[in-house]
Amino acid sequence: MNYDRPHRRQNLLNGQWVLVSPHRARRPWLGQVEKTPPENLPAYDPACYLCPGNKRSEGAQNPPYTGTFVFDNDFAALLLPEPSGSKERTGGLFIAEEESGICRVICFSPRHDLSFPEMPLAEVEAVVRTWSEQTADLGSRDFIHYVQVFENKGAMMGASNPHPHSQVWATGHIPNEPALELERQDAYYHEHGACLLCDYLAAELSSGERLVAANEEFTALVPFWAIWPFEVLLIANRHTASLPELTPKQTTGLADILRQIVTRYDNLFEVSFPYSMGFHQAPFDGSAYPGQHLHAHYYPPLLRSATVRKFMVGFELLGMPQRDLTPETAARRLRELDPVHYKLR
C-alpha cells in the first residue's frame, strides 16, 4: 500500500471510511479566517454564569463553590419521563419514540481562567472523579441507559462560555455514535474472543508512529482512521468498561494524560486549542458488554494555524470525510511539541 497516494482507511470503531489525500496538503487558502480566543481571562468574571456566587440566566444562583460544581442544565435538551408517558413507537414511514433523560453542567473549578494544563493535578483528578460519580449516579436510574460525558471547548466549537466546563447528558436510548461503536466492538469480541481496542492499542504501541502521549494507564494517539486534522483517540491501557470502574491509579493517570493532550494541543499554534471531546463507555442497561473498552475522542477543527479550520462540507458532507494531512504526520507534529505548556514556560 502506498500511503503517499490517495487511499481510503476504515474506522474499526464505526465501520466508516475516510479518504486520505496526502499529495494535497499544501493547497493555498483564501477562505475564512477565524478569530483567536482571548488570551488573558480574569480569574473571576462578574458577567459569567458559571463563576461562583453569580446568577445564571434563569435566575438560579451558583453557590460560592471551591472545587468542581455540578448543576442541572437550565436549558436541558431532555426531560424526566412522564409517569404516564407512552413507551410506544410510531410506525410506518414516520418512526419516532419518546426520549427522556437528564442534562447537567460540570464546572471544572471556580477559576474562570484556568484550563487543565494550568490546574494542579489534584484538581484535574477531582474533575475525573466528578465525571465518574455523575456517570454512576445517572447510570443507576432505571430510565437511563447511557451516560455521555463531553466537553465543548472554544467559541469555534460552540462553547457558550470560556469558563472551563463540561456537560453530561444521560439518555434512555444509546445515542448513535456509541451505539455503532458498541455493535462493532461486540462483533469483534464475538469473532476474535478479544477486545478490539486492546488489540488495536497493542498494534499501535508496537508501531509507535501514531502515538502522541502516554503514561502507565492511558495512551493518546492519532487513530489510523482520523477524520479531523489533529484528532486524538485516548485509550485506557487496561481493559476498563466505564468511568465509575476507574481505580484511583487510573483516575490519576487519566488526569495526567488529559493535561498532556491539552498542553500539546495548545502548544501547536500557541493558542487555546478548540475541540469537542467526550468519553465512550459501556451502557447502563443491565446487559454485559465484555467487548466495550473505555476511550475518549478529541475532535479539534483547526488545520494549519490558529485561524484556519477544516470544514466538513461538500464531498465530506455529501460523500465521505476526507483529509490531506496524514494521521502519521499529525501525530509526529503533536509528539514533537514541547511537553511544557507555552503559558507556563
Residues that bind Zn ion (CB under 5 A): 45, 48, 50-51, 112, 163
**For ligand H2U, which is the closer residue by CB, 171 or 240?**
171
Residue 333 binds: one of ligand H2U, Zn ion, none (C-beta under 5 to 8 A by kind): none
For residue 106, report the phi and psi dihedrals to the nearest 5 degrees: -125, 110
- Position of minimal CB gap to Zn ion: 48
**For Zn ion, which is the closer residue by CB, 111 or 310?**
111
Among 2, 32, 40, 57, binds ligand H2U (CB under 6 A): 57
Residue 325 binds: one of ligand H2U, Zn ion, none (C-beta under 5 to 8 A by kind): none
Site membership for ligand H2U, residue 140 (CB under 6 A): no
x/- string (CB under 6 A) for ligand H2U, residues 217-246? ------------------------------
Sorted by sequence, the CB contacts under 8 Å of residue 304 that are 6+ apart come out as: 29, 229
Residue 159 binds: one of ligand H2U, Zn ion, none (C-beta under 5 to 8 A by kind): ligand H2U
CA distance 134 to 62: 18
CA-to-CA dists, residue 210 to 176, 224, 226, 262, 328, angstroms: 27, 7, 10, 17, 5
Three-state DSSP at 217 gives coil
Site membership for ligand H2U, residue 56 (CB under 6 A): yes
The three grid cell numbers given for residue 223, joined into one nine-digit string: 487513530
- The residue among 71, 74, 83, 77 whose CA lies nearest residue 142 is 83
x/- string (CB under 6 A) for ligand H2U, residues 163-182? ----x---------------
Which residue is catalytic, options 165, 280, 293, 295? Answer: 165
CA distance 117 to 120: 8
Residue 51 binds: one of ligand H2U, Zn ion, none (C-beta under 5 to 8 A by kind): Zn ion
**For Zn ion, which is the closer residue by CB, 15 or 42?**
42
CA distance 244 to 279: 12
- Beta-bridge mates of residue 151: 277
**For ligand H2U, which is the closer residue by CB, 49 or 299?**
49
CA distance 92 to 3: 46
**For ligand H2U, which is the closer residue by CB, 213 or 258?**
258
x/- string (CB under 6 A) for ligand H2U, residues 58-97? x--------------xxx----------------------
Among 7, 21, 36, 49, binds ligand H2U (CB under 6 A): 49
CA-to-CA dists, residue 191 to 177, 187, 239, 251, angstroms: 21, 6, 18, 31
- The residue among 205, 244, 228 whose CA lies nearest residue 297 is 228
- The residue among 295, 278, 279, 292 whose CA lies nearest residue 185 is 292
- 239 classed as catalytic: no
Residue 160 binds: one of Zn ion, ligand H2U, none (C-beta under 5 to 8 A by kind): ligand H2U
DSSP string, 3-24: TTS-EEEE-TTT--EEEE-GGG
Among 18, 102, 105, 222, binds ligand H2U (CB under 6 A): 105
Among 61, 140, 160, 207, binds ligand H2U (CB under 6 A): 160
Q: CA angle, 289 as apex, 288 and 291 as ends, to 5°?
A: 145
Residues engaged in binding ligand H2U (CB under 6 A) = 49, 56-58, 73-75, 105, 152, 159-161, 167
Catalytic residue positions, numbered: 165
